[in-house]
Amino acid sequence: MEATALSAGFRPVLNPQGYRFPRSSSERNSLSLVRCQSKEISFGLIKPKPEGSVTIMHRGLSSFKTNVFEQAHSVAGEISYDDTAAKTRSHVAEDKIGVLLLNLGGPETLNDVQPFLYNLFADPDIIRLPRPFQFLQGTIAKFISVVRAPKSKEGYAAIGGGSPLRKITDEQADAIQMALQAKNIAANVYVGMRYWYPFTEEAVQQIKKDKITRLVVLPLYPQYSISTTGSSIRVLQDLFRKDAYLAGVPVAIIQSWYQRRGYVNSMADLIEKELQNFSDPKEVMIFFSAHGVPVSYVENSGDPYQKQMEECIDLIMEELKARGVPNDHILAYQSRVGPVQWLKPYTDEVLVDLGKKGVKSLLAVPVSFVSEHIETLEEIDMEYRELALESGIENWGRVPALGLTESFITDLADAVIESLPSAKAMWNPNVVVSEDSDSSDAFSYIVKMLFGSILAFVLLLSPKMISAFRNHLI
């Protein structure tokens, strides 16, 4: 019963072009798994928290994601937790804790850019097609990735020829593992990327190989969006549902953590420090720039991203005010792609507007991501900086991403520890679902293919559409 209902939305995890798995096992070892293997550590017993209260870091998702993940995560604020499960497990001799960091991934070379973009646009949580057209996802992804690749490549070339995300995320994984160790928690920390190596699928294979018995999933996005954390969790669900071992592993998912004191204080520290580089710190406008999402995510699909982003900015500003930092601030959204409306105001438009209004000093704060990447190093540091200076802003600064900031890493380790008691098996291990086959008959498939391809061809080849995907600005 459960398996039937859950299999309805199943999609194969491999795409036909085979971009998503390492090309050979030796490459996989050299690329992604070595960090876990070389850091193999002895696992210890975790002491369950003595009494049953744990802060849950996610708010209000239940309206749009109804799945078994939510059993531990659907309530905001303080909840009570029944620690029976932890007690019954206490006879188990070896508790092997794993922490899975989820991230977006990025192309490591310019040749990776188009296949990386293909993986991104082939994600049904990124390009959301109406059900009758979903079979065209691959064709559309191929088309958009080819159209966008030249512009994207320019960006990656400008920051040294590839994304730094993998290196930084690996370093964060090591730092979190050490922070946990310092708190007497022995854990293996894994990295699973959504669109490039090391893919989430690889990390999950390793977690199984290592016989992890409890897993904490920690997306490296402070705020939840369907397009980021939601998409990665959907992949995890599919992987865990199909495997009898994984289906029974207790898992805790930290859905969002922008409201944690450690994160808010670390952001406030960085901002306070960077303000000191201006000759008149009090005159500086604090400019929060968040990655955008299409408006339809928020308005039609209940994505909590915008609300969480606004709350996040309020918390950081409250903290700064409490420290006697009275600066003005503004939030805008960057990096829009494609022909639809994205969250407003748009970063580029706000910069021009502020210049017109006579703002002279501006401190940019990237707020949706915790490591440097193309959108901080190229879009903010180059494109937006240039636009701001052209618009009349004279003094420009940018807060670095949190990266390995000690207070931040320690807080993530605390988040992991606090979530452990709420870990629960995702699926019933006795009901493992195999890949479903397409039962539609050949005739209706051919008709859909033909009709859909003609429609996609007509729509996608319009000059407006091509330029919308080629550039950030429409």
Ligand X SMILES: C=CC1=C(C)c2cc3[nH]c(cc4nc(cc5[nH]c(cc1n2)c(C)c5CCC(=O)O)C(CCC(=O)O)=C4C)c(C)c3C=C
Q: Which residues inside 154-183 make contact with ligand X, applying CB under 6 A?
A: 163, 165
Does 227 bind ligand X (CB under 6 A)? Our answer is: yes
- Pick the stretch among 79-87, 134-142, 225-233, 239-247 that binds ligand X (CB under 6 A): 225-233
Distance in angstroms (rounded) separating the CA atoms of residues 469 and 462: 11
Between 297 and 427, name the residue whose CB sits nearer to ligand X: 297
Secondary structure percentages of the chain, helix, strand, coil, to 5: 50, 15, 40
Q: Which residue has the tokens 């700064």?
A: 320
Residue with tokens 């636009």: 387
Six-digit token string for 424: 């629960």
Complex with ligand X: residue 69 or 156, whichever CB lies closer = 156
> What DSSP state is assigned to residue 343?
S
Q: Which is nearer to ligand X, 95 or 372 (CB)?
A: 372
Distances (CA, A) of 34 to 209, 266, 287, 332: 13, 30, 39, 39
By CB under 6 A, is residue 148 in contact with ligand X? yes
Contact 402, 267 (CB under 8 A): yes
Q: Take residue 197 and report the two structure tokens written for it.
A: 């190596």
- What are the angstrom distances between the C-alpha of 341 and each of 292, 295, 474? 10, 6, 10
Sites for ligand X among residues 360-399 (CB under 6 A): 368-369, 373-375
Minimum separation from the CB atom of position 374 to ligand X (A): 4
Report in angstroms how near the CB of residue 377 gets to ligand X at its nearest. Answer: 8
Q: Mark 261-300 with x for binding to ligand X (rule: CB under 6 A) and - for no binding.
A: ------------------------------x-xx------
**CB under 6 A: which stretch of 82-90, 219-227, 384-392, 411-419 binds ligand X?**
219-227
Site string for ligand X, 324-343 (x = CB under 6 A): -------------x------
CA distance 298 to 290: 15
Q: In the complex with ligand X, which residue's Cβ is closer, 56 or 168?
A: 168
- Reduced to 3 states (helix: H, G, I; strand: E, B; else coil), residue 290 is strand
Cβ proximity to ligand X, 255 vs 361, nearer residue: 255
Contact positions with ligand X (CB under 6 A) in 403-462: none
Q: Are 210 and 178 in contact (CB under 8 A)?
A: no
Using CA atoms, how far residue 220 sits from 30, 109, 170, 269, 271, in Å, is: 23, 22, 12, 19, 20
Q: Could you say which residues in the range 107-146 bind ligand X, by CB under 6 A?
A: 117, 120, 126
> Which segment (171-179, 221-229, 389-397, 434-442) binds ligand X by CB under 6 A?
221-229
Q: Is there binding between residue 221 and ligand X (CB under 6 A)?
A: yes
Measured in whole angstroms, the distance separating CA 4 from the mean position of its chain's CA atoms is: 29
Q: How far is the CB of 40 from ligand X (least distance, A)?
A: 29
Shortest reach from residue 315's CB to ligand X, in Å:
17
User: Judged by CB under 6 A, does residue 106 bind ligand X?
Assistant: yes
Our measurement of the distance from residue 461's CA atom to the centroid of its chain's CA atoms, rounded to an integer in Å, reads: 31
Q: Using CB atoms, what's the residue nearest to ligand X? A: 106
For ligand X, give the closer residue by CB, 226 or 247.
226
CB-CB contact of 187 with 180 (8 Å): yes
Q: Which helix (H) or strand (E) holds 289?
A: strand 285-291
Judged by CB under 6 A, the residue of 15, 137, 172, 225 near ligand X is: 225
Query: Rounded to whole angstroms, how far apart are CA atoms 245 and 78?
Result: 31
* Interface residues toward ligand X, by CB under 6 A: 104, 106, 117, 120, 126, 148, 152, 163, 165, 221, 225, 227-228, 291, 293-294, 337, 368-369, 373-375
